[in-house]
Structure 1
Amino acid sequence: MERSLGALATRSHQRPILALGLALLLAAVGGFFARNLKLNANLVDLLPNSFESVQDLHELETRFGALGWVSVVGEGGDAASLRRFADDLAPKLQALPGVRFVEKERTGAFFRDRALYFLSEEDLREVHRRLAARLQWERQQANPLYVPLVDEPEPTLDFSDLEAKYGGAAGQKLSSAKDDYYLDAKARRVVVLVKPEMTSADLAYSRRIVDEVRGLLDAQELSKYGPDFRVEITGTFQKKLDQQKQIIRDIAVSSAVAMALMLLYLLFHFRSALAVGLVLTPVGVGLAWTYGLVALVYGQVNLLTGFLGAILGGLGVEHGIHLLGRYLHLRTEGESSVEATRESFTHTGGAALVSALVAALTFFVLGTSRLRAFREFGVIAGIGMLVLIAAYVLVLPALLGLTARWGWRPKRAAVAPSESPFGRVLVRHRYVITGVSAVLLVGLLTQVPRVRFDYNFGTLEDQDLPSFVLDKQVNEIIGYSQTPVVVLTKSTQEEHAMASALARRQRERGKDSTIDFVASLSSLVPQDQPRKQAVLQDIHRLLENVPEERLSPEQRTQLVELRRQSEARPFTLEDLPPSVRQQFMGREGTPGSFVLVYPAVDQSDGQAVRALAREVRGAPTLDGGRVSAAGEAMVMADLLDMVTHEAPLILGGTTLAVLLAMWMTLGGLRMAVLCLLPTVVSLLALIGLMPLVGVEFNYLNILIIPVLIGTTVDAGVHLLTRLASPGSDFVEVYSETGRAIAGGLLTSAMGFGALFLARHPGLNSVGALASMGFATNLLVMLVAFPALLLVLTERRRRRHRARMDSEVKERAAAGAPGPEHATP
Structure 2
Amino acid sequence: MSEMRWSERFEAAMGSLAARGHRRPWVALFVTLVLTGLGIFFARDLSLNADLSNLLPRSFQSVQDLEKLRTRFGGMGNVVVAGIGAEPEQLKQFVDDMAPKLGGLSEIRFVNYQRPSQFFDQHALYYVDLPDLKIIQERIDARFAWEKEQANPLFVRLEEAPPPSLDFTDIEQKYTGGANQRLSGQGELYYLDPQERMVVMLLKAKGSSADLGYSKKVIAQVQDYLSKQDLSKYGPGFRTEITGTFKKKIDQQGVITGDLARASSLAIVLLLAYLAFHFRSALSVGLTMAPVAAGLMWTYGFVGVAYGQVNLLTGFLAAVLGGLGVEHGIHLLGRWSTLRSEGMTSEEAVREAFSHTGFSALISALVAALTFLSLSLSEFRAFHEFGVIAAVGMLVSVGSYLLILPAMLGLVSKWGWTPRLHQAQSGPMAVLARFLPRRYRAVSVVLGVALVALISQAYGVTFNYDSTKLDDVSLPSVRLDRRIDHILGYSATPVVVLTDKEGQEREVVNQLQARKQQYGKDSTIDFVGALEDLVPQQQAEKHALLQSIHKKLSRIDPEKVAKDTRENLVRAVRMTQAEPFTREQLPVSLRRQFEPAAGQKGGVVLVYANVSLSDGVGTRRFTKEVRNLQLSDGSQVSAAGEALILADILDMVAKESPRILVAAVLSVFFAMWMTLGSLRNALICMLPTLLSIAALVGLMSILGLQFNYLNIVVIPVLIGTTVDAGVHLIERLGEPGADFVTVYAETGRAITGGLLTSAIGFLALVFAKHPGLNSIGDLANLGFAVNMVVVLVGFPALLLLVDRWRNKHGATPTAPTGDETQHPAPES
Instruction: Give the TM bin, normalised by the shorter chain.
Output: over 0.9
Distance in 1 (alpha carbons) for counterparts of 2:598 and 2:689: 59
Q: Are residues 1:594 and 2:640 paired?
A: no
Q: 1:688 aligns with which of 698, 709, 713?
A: 698
| Aligned partner letter, 2:576 | S
TM-score relative to the length of structure 1: 0.94
Matching of residues 506-545 of structure 1 within 5 Å: 506-545=516-555
SS of corresponding position for 2:532? helix
Structure 1 residue 701, shift from structure 2 partner: 0.3
Q: Are residues 1:627 and 2:637 paired?
A: yes
Q: 2:510 aligns with which of 483, 500, 520?
A: 500
Question: Can you list the C-alpha shifts for 1:665-692, whole angstroms capped at 9, x where unaligned?
Answer: 1101111011010000000010000122
**Structure 1 residues 753 and 160: CA distance shift in structure 2, 3 A:** farther
SS of corresponding position for 2:187? coil
Q: Are residues 1:222 and 2:223 paired?
A: no
Between 1:671-680 and 1:755-764, the stretch displaced more is 755-764
1:250 counterpart residue number: 259
Between 1:450-459 and 1:506-515, the stretch displaced more is 506-515
Distance in 2 (alpha carbons) for counterparts of 1:428 and 1:174: 78
Matching of residues 9-48 of structure 1 within 5 Å: 9-48=18-57
Between 1:209-218 and 1:690-699, the stretch displaced more is 690-699
Q: 2:489 aligns with which of 467, 474, 479?
A: 479
Between 1:452-461 and 1:617-626, the stretch displaced more is 617-626
| Aligned partner letter, 2:97 | D
2:767 counterpart residue number: 757
Question: Can you list the C-alpha shifts for 1:688-734, whole angstroms capped at 9, x where unaligned?
Answer: 00122221000100111111111110111111111122221111111
Contact in 2 for aligned 1:134/1:156 (Cα 8 Å) = yes
Structure 1 residue 331, shift from structure 2 partner: 1.2
**Structure 1 residues 688 and 133: CA distance shift in structure 2, 3 A:** farther
1:442 counterpart residue number: 452
1:816 counterpart residue number: none
2:725 counterpart residue number: 715
Matching of residues 717-732 of structure 1 within 5 Å: 717-732=727-742
Contact in 2 for aligned 1:329/1:416 (Cα 8 Å) = no
Contact in 1 for aligned 2:613/2:643 (Cα 8 Å) = yes
Q: 2:787 aligns with which of 774, 777, 791?
A: 777
SS of corresponding position for 1:186? coil
Distance in 2 (alpha carbons) for counterparts of 1:794 and 1:511: 66
| Aligned partner letter, 1:279 | T
1:92 counterpart residue number: 101
| Aligned partner letter, 1:332 | S
Q: 1:183 aligns with which of 187, 192, 196?
A: 192
Q: 1:118 aligns with which of 107, 116, 127?
A: 127
1:7 counterpart residue number: 16
**Structure 1 residues 438 and 555: CA distance shift in structure 2, 3 A:** same
1:65 counterpart residue number: 74
Distance in 1 (alpha carbons) for counterparts of 2:637 and 2:38: 49
Contact in 1 for aligned 2:185/2:489 (Cα 8 Å) = no
Between 1:356-365 and 1:196-205, the stretch displaced more is 196-205
Q: Are residues 1:422 and 2:432 paired?
A: yes
1:463 counterpart residue number: 473
| Aligned partner letter, 2:457 | Q
Distance in 2 (alpha carbons) for counterparts of 1:801 and 1:666: 23
1:578 counterpart residue number: 588
Q: Are residues 1:81 and 2:90 paired?
A: yes
Distance in 1 (alpha carbons) for counterparts of 2:632 and 2:808: 79
1:355 counterpart residue number: 364
Distance in 1 (alpha carbons) for counterparts of 2:813 and 2:605: 81
**Structure 1 residues 339 and 744: CA distance shift in structure 2, 3 A:** same
Distance in 1 (alpha carbons) for counterparts of 2:168 and 2:517: 18
Distance in 2 (alpha carbons) for counterparts of 1:23 and 1:221: 59
Contact in 1 for aligned 2:689/2:722 (Cα 8 Å) = yes
2:421 counterpart residue number: 412
**Structure 1 residues 736 and 154: CA distance shift in structure 2, 3 A:** farther
1:614 counterpart residue number: 624
Distance in 1 (alpha carbons) for counterparts of 2:813 and 2:407: 51
2:314 counterpart residue number: 305
Structure 1 residue 592, shift from structure 2 partner: 3.8
Question: Can you list the C-alpha shifts for 1:395-450, whole angstroms capped at 9, x where unaligned?
Answer: 11111111110111122348674971111211111111111111111111221111
User: Hey, which bits of structure 1, 4+ residues long, moved more than 6 A?
Assistant: 138-145, 151-154
Distance in 2 (alpha carbons) for counterparts of 1:215 and 1:177: 34
Unpaired runs of at least 5, structure 1:
805-824
Q: 1:650 aligns with which of 656, 660, 666?
A: 660
2:4 counterpart residue number: none
1:237 counterpart residue number: 246
**Structure 1 residues 375 and 801: CA distance shift in structure 2, 3 A:** closer
Structure 1 residue 540, shift from structure 2 partner: 2.1
- Aligned-pair identity (%): 53
Unpaired runs of at least 5, structure 2:
1-9, 815-828
Between 1:317-326 and 1:622-631, the stretch displaced more is 622-631
Question: Can you list the C-alpha shifts for 1:487-507, whole angstroms capped at 9, x where unaligned?
Answer: 111112322211111122223
SS of corresponding position for 1:570? coil
Distance in 2 (alpha carbons) for counterparts of 1:276 and 1:581: 66
SS of corresponding position for 2:182? helix
Structure 1 residue 644, shift from structure 2 partner: 0.8
Distance in 1 (alpha carbons) for counterparts of 2:667 and 2:781: 24
Distance in 1 (alpha carbons) for counterparts of 2:194 and 2:486: 13
Structure 1 residue 131, shift from structure 2 partner: 3.7
Structure 1 residue 165, shift from structure 2 partner: 3.0
2:756 counterpart residue number: 746
Question: Can you list the C-alpha shifts for 1:622-641, whole angstroms capped at 9, x where unaligned?
Answer: 23443232111111111111
Contact in 1 for aligned 2:78/2:202 (Cα 8 Å) = yes
Distance in 1 (alpha carbons) for counterparts of 2:530 and 2:144: 37
TM-score relative to the length of structure 2: 0.94
| Aligned partner letter, 1:43 | L
SS of corresponding position for 1:523? coil
| Aligned partner letter, 2:210 | A
Structure 1 residue 559, shift from structure 2 partner: 1.9
Distance in 1 (alpha carbons) for counterparts of 2:201 and 2:377: 45
Structure 1 residue 510, shift from structure 2 partner: 2.8
Q: 1:787 aligns with which of 797, 814, 817?
A: 797
Q: 1:402 aligns with which of 402, 411, 415?
A: 411
Distance in 1 (alpha carbons) for counterparts of 2:583 and 2:362: 71
Distance in 2 (alpha carbons) for counterparts of 1:550 and 1:298: 78
**Structure 1 residues 791 and 584: CA distance shift in structure 2, 3 A:** same
Distance in 1 (alpha carbons) for counterparts of 2:285 and 2:680: 36
1:819 counterpart residue number: none
| Aligned partner letter, 1:115 | A
| Aligned partner letter, 2:313 | L
Distance in 1 (alpha carbons) for counterparts of 2:37 and 2:424: 33
Structure 1 residue 554, shift from structure 2 partner: 4.4
**Structure 1 residues 13 and 115: CA distance shift in structure 2, 3 A:** same
| Aligned partner letter, 1:491 | K
| Aligned partner letter, 2:513 | A
| Aligned partner letter, 2:52 | L
Question: Can you list the C-alpha shifts for 1:720-765, whole angstroms capped at 9, x where unaligned?
Answer: 1111222211111110111111110011111112111111111110
| Aligned partner letter, 1:123 | D
Q: Are residues 1:208 and 2:217 paired?
A: yes
Question: Can you list the C-alpha shifts for 1:83-133, whole angstroms capped at 9, x where unaligned?
Answer: 110011111111111211111111111111111111111111122233444
| Aligned partner letter, 2:643 | A
Between 1:626-635 and 1:769-778, the stretch displaced more is 626-635
SS of corresponding position for 1:571? coil
**Structure 1 residues 688 and 594: CA distance shift in structure 2, 3 A:** same
